[in-house]
Amino acid sequence: MGTFERLRQLSPILMGLFVIFFILFMVLADMDIGSLVGGGENPQTAIIANVNGKEIKYVEFEGRVRQAVEQQRQALRQQGREDEEIFEDDIRAKVWQAMTDRALYESIADEAGIVYSDKVVADKMINFPSREVKDMFTDSTGNFMREVYLSYITNPDNVSGYMGPQAANLDPQEKARIVSDIRERLMSMSDYTANQIVASGIQSLLGNVGSAISLEYSRKKYIAENSSVEFDYISFDTKGIPDPELDDKELRAWYDGHKEYMKGDARRKIKYVAFPMKASSADTVNFNRKITSITNALKSKKNPQERSEVFDEKMNEFGGNTTDYTLSHDINPNILTLLSDLEISDYYGPFNMEGKITYLRLDDKRQGENEAVNASHILIKFDSNKDSARKVARNISKRARSGEDFSTLAKEFSLDKGSALNGGDLGWFTKGSMVQEFEDAAFALGIGEVSKVVESDFGFHIVKLINKSSSEYKYSTISLSPRISSASKNMIFRDAYSLIENVDQGGIFDSVAAKLGSKATESSFFSKDQTVLGNNFINSFAFSNPVGTISEPIELDNYGVLVFMVTDSREKGPIPFEDKASEIRHYVMNQKKLDLAKLEAEKTHPQLNDANFSLNENFKSASNVKNNGAIIGIGAREYALTEMAFTMPLNTISKPIAGHNGYYIIKVKSRNIVSDEQIEQNLADYHQTLIQNTARQVFFPFFQEIKNNVPVVDNRIKWYNNF
């Protein structure tokens, strides 16, 4: 039984059986019918991935995708952005990454003998929540709300346990949505916690690597990081040297001498033709006809009531949207400006909004039903001396009520650091959003008024009302944008299939594309873990088919309809000279330039002395230089140069020093070496920190190396043509 299923069965914290049924429902209700083909497999039992022996079921994967899509849809709806496009392929890619990484973590844990069970995960979540998890349950004063957190993870159905009294006002549908969202969040939190446990275990194992660091090495590194030098230098840079002549024979000789180091992973190359998915001239004419139809129909009516009736007709015809009563501060400012100038039942339009031609109608407006305020506050916490805190708060309140700038006082005194940065501004909020004492004070104030000291469980507050509003608007919109007609889309696909047919009959890919008015583009070589044109299907296809195979047309964001052909392949092993020629040319040319720079440096060195060193045309100075190769004004790190600066005698002229960008002659003026006393005081802690950091640094390459080499069966190509 897989870990995901064990977690769900054994721990009420981790979704429970509810989620299994929810996943099945979402998958069966919303599944793309085209994906049901799946090479003839049953989607209920099909395996979409196998990561080092850990299987991921298609139904589980697609269920997580559907949940994520629905969560994003709900978030957009709550923000009034329900018309915004949801990029499902991007979501699917993120879910894939998360689930395959989780499977890999499980595999590593099994092989390394790391204790990894439902009980361990649950115990860590309850008793040792991570900083990231704590941040989700931190109040405005920075305190971790442990009781709320425990209620949240141990009983997600008890909405009132973490939402407070306002939970009683939720309708059953909204309450069910919140519970569902919480369960999904818990699953993500459990995944994150489980991964942390495995990562921590591996880091402990890798700590042996860190423990190999000697105290003497730590001492040298501490000295290097906390000491500096100042020196003058003359550079003999390769940039000013003309490119020498090189021939292929010389480059091939270098390649043959270093072939054993020229190895690479398997790679593929494709050629592709993109047929843009854009509206035809006929589509544009049709779109303009619709706009003219709506505009003329609305203008033909003489009073708002008749225009409103026409607006309803056009909403039904073209799919309009009605936004229920919304407080003014929650409405798009551009829309709010237009609504403010309209009478009820009247409209404004057409106008361009976010790339769509839009018509706007004011359905109704009201005052006093709901109220929102924009307030600022200054928080003084009780700590151990409540009387002293009250005295401080009263003094600040008095200063604010006397006319001192509230924002300045908040930045200086408020212990709610989040709002203090904004002068205490808490933004807009409605009743039920804040603790009762604070809310009563804020809603009782007049605009610009400052309260006396208000006490709550968080401390003492001084509140200033910036603005208040109870204006609500109900409005409707009709939004249209040019769409590609079925006829236009069919013409685009016809050209794509024509390309495939002609190539299958012996035509040359580039030539056939040119006859169709398109251009074939060739990719560079790519490896199996690289995304091509933002689409993983292309990569999977290229590695699953021989050279010469041409794809079916696929729709691709930002490209349109794409047809591609596998044109070349390289298997794992020695990289051919042709693939490395450009890189070899650059390296050999730079080495030849370095040889010329060396000759110039050796020629100049005997002529230098203390009197003329600074007169050289390539003279420069460097200060506060650490022994880490970094020197301001020099591109690449020059480790040999900084090492020499820390070891050679002061006020002497060095011999030419070889670097990546050229040769250098230096003269060290001064050194600031950390004292023995400071070294002895800090070395022990520094040594331990270095061991811990080394273990962490080793972990990520270690994990990536495992990720690159474990067997992974990726069956997405059976179910999707865009991922």
> pLDDT tens, 483-514?
888 888 899 999 999 999 999 999 999 999 99
When pLDDT is cut at 50, 70 and 90, the band that residue 297 belongs to is very high
Fill in the DSSP letter of residue 85: P
What global pTM score does this model have? 0.57
462 burial class (0-12, 13-18, 19+ CB within 10 angstroms)? buried
Residue 653 has pLDDT above 50, yes or no: yes
Query: What tokens were used for 70?
Result: 């629905």
When pLDDT is cut at 50, 70 and 90, the band that residue 32 belongs to is very low
pLDDT at 109: 73
pLDDT at 483: 82
Residue 192 has pLDDT above 60, yes or no: yes
Strands across the sheet with 712-714, in order?
54-57, 47-51, 712-714
pLDDT at 162: 52
Q: Mapping DSSP to helix (H, G, I), strand (E, B) and coil, where does residue 363 land?
A: strand
Span 53-59, mean pLDDT? 90
> Is there a contact between 367 and 471 (Cβ–Cβ < 8 Å)?
yes
- Alpha-carbon span 663 to 360, nearest angstrom: 70
In tens, the pLDDT along 129-166 reads: 767 667 767 765 667 777 777 776 777 666 555 555 55
Span 289-302, mean pLDDT? 91
Span 232-241, mean pLDDT? 92
> Is there a contact between 500 and 509 (Cβ–Cβ < 8 Å)?
no
pLDDT at 102: 81
Q: Describe the crossing of helices 676-709 and 215-226 by its angle, rounded to 10 degrees.
A: 110
Residue 384 has pLDDT above 80, yes or no: no
The angle subtended at Cα 324 by Cα 322 and Cα 325, nearest 5°, is 140
Share of the chain above pLDDT 90, in %: 40
pLDDT at 181: 67
Span 385-409, mean pLDDT? 91
pLDDT at 76: 75
Of the ranges 54-68, 94-108, 540-554, which is most confident?
Answer: 540-554
In tens, the pLDDT along 604-639 reads: 999 999 999 999 999 999 999 999 999 988 878 899
Query: What tokens were used for 670?
Result: 């001064």
Q: Which of 29-43, 132-146, 705-719 has the lowest mean pLDDT?
A: 29-43
- Alpha-carbon span 715 to 51, nearest angstrom: 11
Residue 585 has pLDDT above 90, yes or no: yes
The structure tokens 């990231």 sit at: 132
